[in-house]
Structure 1
Amino acid sequence: MTILCPLDFSAASAEQVAYAAALAVTWKADLRLLHVCEPQEDPTVAPPATGRKPCAERLAELRTAAEHAGVAHVHTGIVQGEAAPAIVAEASRQQADLIVIGAHGRTGITRFLMGATAEMVLRTAHCATLLVRAPL
């Protein structure tokens, strides 16, 4: 079994990884952490909401958190493209059984768009999708 967890590196990402990790441990599943760099985004720098840590470094931190939660097989990846289609394509390519995605990640207009991204993934993915709501 494979769980795909696309991340935007918002404050809610750690909670999203915690949900995905708990499911991966319970189901003895592989966990794949994914960040999609939108066309205008520099893949060497995380989005502004998280400061200036490079995407690969932020993914490594979240990977470590998943491993500490007991996940045996955690993989990371960064892909380029529009968020929703890239997530759905990666889920298909990885033959994911479940996508664990944040319902809203960033603030302002990007928060609205992340909601739209989650909705599009939910509607178009070939597998089950779990929406994790950011804490209030």
Structure 2
Amino acid sequence: MSELPHLPSIRTILAATDLSPASIPALHAAAILAKQLDAELHLVHALGGALDPRMDFLMSQFAQRLQKSAQSELERLAGEFPDGAVTAVRVEVKRGNPIDVILEDTRRIQADLLVIGTHGRTALKHLALGAVAEHLAQNAPVDVLLVRNEVAGSFKRLLVGVSRSDASKRAAYRALNLAASMDVERVDMVSAYTVPYELRELLGVESEQAKKFRTFQEEDTIEVASAFQSAGFPGEILYEKGEPVQVILKTVEQLQSELVFIGCHNRPRWTSMLLGDTARVLAHKLPTATWLVRDLPEKHPVRDALLEALALK
């Protein structure tokens, strides 16, 4: 396995909210993490413009009133954070497309973590993130914490999905680094392995030859498993047969995990599958809070110069 990159500390957290009731748990989670990690917390709310350009004059007339109202609401929420107020809180209300505003703020303040709530407004259960949350999860340049439900105090039961990829191993190290500051009860690791479809009938899924695939997975993740053992947190190291998504969902239910760490692969900026298939599906399906851990940015000088020239950055 190649050497994993150094993981920068979480020093600046940006929590984005649309001020709906469904977004409040994300603010509470961000406040708790900021206190535990001694991080600075920024809150941002975007005042979306009118959909019809002919209505812009109305937005202009009421912009100051709307901004003042939203500012007051954010400050009220900041004053009601659980476990006491976080001292370093910055509140901002801006007008513009929520996605653009949040991504711009993420880069401007050099945030290490973006925290957002999930509340899709669609009747389709598998589209559970909501359009803004899904876009941010795919395109944010930093780690993203997706929060679905109210956090009871703080996250106590962590789970990391680990594969042979460096992205998932980076997620494991992120979880272990944070666990000491988060006062957790347990940190579990689960790794899924499968017998290739072409070999299932030939070998039989319960044969000794098929069981070697578990051995292969153990060998590929031995460094991370050793790190879990050395860290000394209560928890289990599990190797389960099955597809990664189903294995992780089942493990979350069995262990009653509250926060799941998933590694995300880097992709070229012009592709839409920035999360990778497993991370993307889990971001939709997990009933818990989900921490999407980014790879360090890859450097592509020629591509980046071309994108800059085309004003696509």
Structure 1 length normalisation: TM-score?
Answer: 0.80
Structure of greater relative contact order (alpha carbons < 8 Å, 6+ residues apart): 1
Unaligned runs of 5+ in 2: 1-10, 51-58, 151-313
Query: Could you say if the C-alpha distance between residues 67 and 60 of structure 1 is closer, same or farther in structure 2, counting changes exceeding 3 Å?
Result: farther
Query: What is the count of residue pairs matched by the alignment?
Result: 126
Query: Does the 8 Å contact 1:3/1:31 carry over to 2?
Result: yes
The share of aligned pairs that are identical, in percent, is 33
Displacement of 1:103 in angstroms is 1.0
For 2:41, the aligned partner's letter is: L
Please name the residue that 2:77 is paired with. 62
Is residue 18 of structure 2 the alignment partner of residue 8 of structure 1? yes
Please name the residue that 2:48 is paired with. 38
Query: Could you say if the C-alpha distance between residues 14 and 80 of structure 1 is closer, same or farther in structure 2, counting changes exceeding 3 Å?
Result: same
Q: C-alpha offsets along residues 21-40 of structure 1, whole Å, 9 cap, x if unaligned?
A: 11001100011010001112
Please name the residue that 2:117 is paired with. 102
Is residue 89 of structure 2 the alignment partner of residue 74 of structure 1? yes
Is residue 107 of structure 2 the alignment partner of residue 92 of structure 1? yes
Is residue 141 of structure 2 the alignment partner of residue 126 of structure 1? yes
Radius of gyration: which is bigger? 2
Displacement of 1:66 in angstroms is 3.4
Q: Residue 131 of structure 2: which of 92, 106, 116 is its match?
A: 116
Displacement of 1:62 in angstroms is 1.3
Structure 2 length normalisation: TM-score?
Answer: 0.37
For 2:105, the aligned partner's letter is: E
Is residue 33 of structure 2 the alignment partner of residue 23 of structure 1? yes
C-alpha distance in 1 between matches for 2:32 and 2:100: 26
Query: Does the 8 Å contact 1:67/1:74 carry over to 2?
Result: no
Please name the residue that 2:269 is paired with. none
Query: Could you say if the C-alpha distance between residues 103 and 117 of structure 1 is closer, same or farther in structure 2, counting changes exceeding 3 Å?
Result: same
